Structure 1
Amino acid sequence: MEIPPDSPAIRSQGRQTLGDEGETRLGEDYSEVSTHAQGWRSMRLEYYQLERLHLSAHRWEHLSVLLYLEPVDSLLFQVRDRWEACEVRPGHFSIHPQGSTTTIHAPSRAAFLLIRFLPTFIAQAIHNHSAIAHLRLPTRSPKVDPYVEGVGRQLLGTLLDESKRVTSAKYAESIASSLIVHLMTQYGVAGTAELDTKPGLSPSQLKKALQSAQFGLQEKVTVETMARSAGLTKFHFSRQFKQSMGMSPSRYLMKQRAELAKNLLLEPSLSIADVARKAGFSDQSHLTLNFRMHFGITPKKFRSSLHRH
């Protein structure tokens, strides 16, 4: 919907109006707590509690994700010349690519986690995912995604626990890396038209196949399921998938299940047998075999290493 800059919803709130000096400032000196002092090299986490939120044509220096932690009624979100009115609920998130500019205005209290990803970490996270290496993330107004919310709240817990803030950079990097892959897979768009000329699946076919794998891991998704989502036979899909991804779809599924198991192992209430079942493995032995193949360590030893932090 089109909302002019002189809308009453924007004019109200005194010093928080567009163009006034009451603009919200982001950064280490303005957040309630952040990881800046710990020197994390992969990302920055910042937690904010504000009486009102007002960013006017804010330029994002890094790829950033805002995870809203409290309801925000009548939030106004502007990208270029388009305004959108959003009813934000806890767990909604927005995406802000590096170099993009957005205006956000909320006349009421706002609490959120800001995750800033450094370029080198993004490159490292997608290094083994050739299909998404050429995708880019567009600006995205607040929406709900249970996976993003879950990872965001785990990162928030690390940030708010002072003892973990110092020792848990590796733990945070592990789940944040999976978050980047998820964001690129679910919301990435082709950055160049030349993608369509490359051998293998088309960008739309590949995206559908990866989405079916992402959402079906716990339901034991198969190569046949992925092939149907791309509109191909299993034979043709497998051949074209390998051209696109550099690995067979069955190997890709095992890798994704291992990554899912790695994240599930961070949850202490789950037994390793529970993790195996939830990640789609036939049993605990099957999980252990594949986990060691992908990460060089058994699930039990991986979990023990986390407890030392």
Structure 2
Amino acid sequence: MTEAYGRRLGERFQVENAPAIVTRALRTAELAVTEIRCDSPLHEMCGPIQQEDAFLIGLHLRDFPNREYWEAGRRASVCDVRAGESCLHDLKRVPTALFDKPYHSLAFYLPRAALDVIAEEANAPRIRDLSYEPGVGVNDVTISSLGSLLLPALSHPDQANRLFVDHVLLAVGVHIAQTYGGMRPMSQPTRGGLAPWQERRAMEILRANIKRGVALKEVARECGLSMGYFSHAFRRTLGVAPHKWLIEQRVVLSKEKLRDDELSLSDVAAECGFSDQSHLTRAFRQTVGVSPGAWRRALKR
């Protein structure tokens, strides 16, 4: 379990109350933000955070003059960090700082897994590293603005709109990937079509529901589009309507099932999401040109 957000991060800063918000907006990776505040510091080094392939982006909400900072055991230049400035920290390099003055900041947790997903959904190469100068504050207006949007949610997490928080944290991740990771899409989506991540997500959902089907509005919602626009964009990108594409995938699956002689045509139809054997036969004949029975007999020959 990571120590890079919430209560466990607060312990490293010797802070009892460290409100945090965690999101799985990327499905396979967590993003988080933690508020760290201390008005009476103990004049000690912050406890070491467990090494992991992740980054912390600290947004300072209070001036911190003459900040002393170490990374990978090397002391960085002593500098003043102003309210509104951000500092990047690589958790593989064991960042450590001396907290001898009152401080207040937001710490955004951005693991490598999240950067990988962000790059994949932007159809961009994976990000190798982030570009930053250790210990130096950067006046990044985007991070400052997005951070200010999260302060009310951190103060009253029970009243926070989860969808809004998800979007803000994801926006921070995308901004970091582009600004400090140099993320650039490899190609642009078809004009009027789906973005690469929307195409992948749509096909993922349709395949996962190949037997029972899925409402088009649910797929469109997962892609952040209206049902009408999604249907048009899907056809523009893949050349067929979503329903037609799903039928084609069912036919592909039925070819695999037909290799099993123990399955009757009715069984194959049920396994592949067709309403009955005649539905399978019609769709199979339209797509392949022969009936499933003839295709199975040809396999034996």
TM-score (normalizing by structure 2): 0.50
TM-score (normalizing by structure 1): 0.49
Q: Considering fraction of residues, name the structure with more strand.
A: 1
Q: Larger Cα Rg: Structure 1 or Structure 2?
A: 2
